[in-house]
Amino acid sequence: MANAIFYSRWSPHVLSVLRIVIGLLFLEHGTQKILGFPLSPNPPPALLSLQGLQGAIELVGGLLILVGLFTRPVAFILAGEMAVAYFQFHFPHGFWPVANGGVSAALYCFVWLYFSAAGAGPWSLDTVRAKRATPRL
């Protein structure tokens, strides 16, 4: 019983921690593609190219997820981006994600899908916005 109370109390906070960590990890993909940091073996793509657009989505989306702002719609867009990335770049090389190099794309896709349903958690700008929008009596 005590464990159930502990887990039910801390579960929303762990959701926020997961969002922050996964947002930071995803933000790295965007900064690497757009800003060249951390160092990338590939030159930065043209911003209006497919990879440039992906990098911009990852940079802006990762930052919004990190701070928990517009989490549900941003996560839904990011899930779609990762699904496209998987089927466009990984799936043609084989069915199994572990064999075609698509594990991270598939994992990100479903994590973003989860956040689009679950929301940002209590430690987020979405929560701050919701508290400010609630009328006080």
Q: Residue 82 above 90 pLDDT?
A: yes
Boundaries of domain holding 67: 2-133
Q: Mean of the pLDDT values across residues 77-95? A: 97
Quick one: pLDDT band at residue 136, thresholds 50, 70, 90? confident
Q: Residue 1 above 80 pLDDT?
A: no
* CA separation for the pair 126, 103 (Å, rounded): 29
The pLDDT of residue 5:
84
The pLDDT of residue 77:
98
Q: Which tokens is 67 given? A: 């701070």
Q: Is the overall model pTM greater than 0.85, yes or no?
A: yes
pLDDT of 21-53, one tens digit each? 999 999 999 999 999 888 878 788 888 898 999
What angle in degrees, to the nearest 10, is found between the helix axes of 103-118 and 2-35? 120
Summary mean pLDDT of the chain:
93
More confident residue, 47 or 68: 68
HEC secondary structure over the chain: CHHHHHHHHHHHHHHHHHHHHHHHHHHHHHHHHHHCCCCCCCCCCCCCCHHHHHHHHHHHHHHHHHHCCCHHHHHHHHHHHHHHHHHHHHHHHCCCHHHHCCHHHHHHHHHHHHHHHHCCCCCCHHHHHHHHHCCCC
The answer to whether 124 and 16 have CB atoms below 8 angstroms apart is yes
The pLDDT of residue 137:
66
Per the structure, the count of domains in the chain is 1
Q: Which tokens is 31 given? A: 């900064």
